[in-house]
Amino acid sequence: MKHLLIPALIALLSLTSAVRGEEGKLEVNGLAFKFATPWAEIQSTGMFRAGTLSAKVEGAEKPVEAVFYSFPGPGGGGDIEANVKRWLGQFQGTPESKREELAAGDKKITLVTATGTYNDGPPMGAKTPRENYTLIAAIVPAGESNIFVKLTGPKDAISKLAEDFKKIVLSPFAK
């Protein structure tokens, strides 16, 4: 009976931690990104995916994912302008968009928000048009390369997560 008590206590403590919204941490390229409920880390699959956070949010049929990408070598993944252009090009026509530079200590994080008909799908595969979708993406400096973080989903759902997303991408630089 004793051997069942300890695992049960550990499970109970884990559950109460999640309910209280304690922070988790996702490490990518030496940076620690902090997150709290409704975010949870899930297994990442696919090339260059360095981490994935998932959140269940009202307005989305399924959980949305913030995917962290890391590419090897100096300048891996391309420069800021090429990535902004590529993200905006994932929409049909010209999306409603905004670009911001977020101060993170002595670093700057580029944040792009775009809304419109998003062409959802793998980079080299068939695409499914998703009307009224929003993309929020960040370029986070990390040594000789950058970390690219991308969140897409229904506009209403993503708008509920926008401030959390900003906090997550700024968190490695918070004092």
Q: What confidence tens digit (pLDDT) does each residue in 38-78 have? A: 999 999 888 899 999 999 998 788 999 999 999 988 888 99
Q: Where are the beta strands (DSSP E) in 6-144?
A: 24-28, 31-35, 39-42, 49-55, 64-70, 96-104, 107-120, 128-142
pLDDT for the residue 22: 57
What is the CATH superfamily name and number for domain 22-173?
Answer: Mog1/PsbP, alpha/beta/alpha sandwich (3.40.1000.10)
Q: Where are the domains of the chain?
A: 22-173
Model pTM score: 0.84
CA-wise closest residue to 151 among 55, 8, 32, 74 = 55
Written as six digits, the tokens of 156 are: 């209403």
Instruction: Tell me the average pLDDT across 145-169.
Output: 96
What is the separation of C-alpha 76 from the centre of its chain, rounded to a whole number of angstroms? 18
